[in-house]
Amino acid sequence: MSLEDTLREDPERIASIIDHTNVDPTATEAAIRTLCEEVREYGFCSAVVVPYHAALASELLDGDANVVAVIGFPYGIQNSAAKRSEVEALREHVDEFDMVMNRTAFANGDHEFVVDDVEAVKDAVGEATLKCIIESPALTPSEIRRAAALVEEGGADFVKTAVGYDGPTEIDEITAIRDAVGSGTEIKASGGISTFDEALDMVAAGATRIGASSGVEIYESTQ
């Protein structure tokens, strides 16, 4: 049974693919405690936090769900050595890493740099899961396909759509990514998803993970 069919049959299972997120730069410890309590209560896949909060999230979840840290956030413009250093400082506490593609290199057509940057981070990540954000709402369909292919070439396990600063993710962005990558590369849809129906549309288009600060709202919309 496909993931889409599974969710149509049992909508509450959407929780298992939601990366419940709080990457607000002003998020307090109390807000992260709430995030992790919700991850536990609803059975979400993970808590996504900025590096500062990774140790706290790891302590609070204590292995009951994944901790995800964002790397090179939010524009990916840091050099590869800086991104590697972020990963190396966090490996003790983090299960998955959501890095941002170097958007400046991509905009300048420096595709080799984009691939090398992802490869450098993947080498630091090792066996952990690496997702790479291409910020698809800011790209044309052809640019989305090119960016997705480049980050796949670099070794990312997932192509992730967006950090959410350039507008919501649309279905055709997922379709473009799916067209560009092989079946072994997964897709994380994020940016403006707040209901079960919206999440299901993303899954139908090819996404296997949903990133959202509205995880509770998505789950409760299944009721």
- Pairwise CA distance, residues 206 & 107, whole Å: 26
Task: Give whole-number Cα distances, 162 to 8, 89, 122, 133, in Å.
Answer: 25, 24, 19, 6
CA nearest neighbour of 93 among 120, 61, 129, 45: 61
Active-site positions read 98, 160, 188
Q: Which helix (H) or strand (E) holds 131?
A: strand 129-133
CA nearest neighbour of 184 among 203, 150, 208, 210: 208
Distance of CA 108 to the CA centre of its chain: 24
Helix (H, G, I), strand (E, B) or coil at 209: strand
CA nearest neighbour of 48 among 158, 139, 197: 158
At position 94, the amino acid (one-letter code) is V
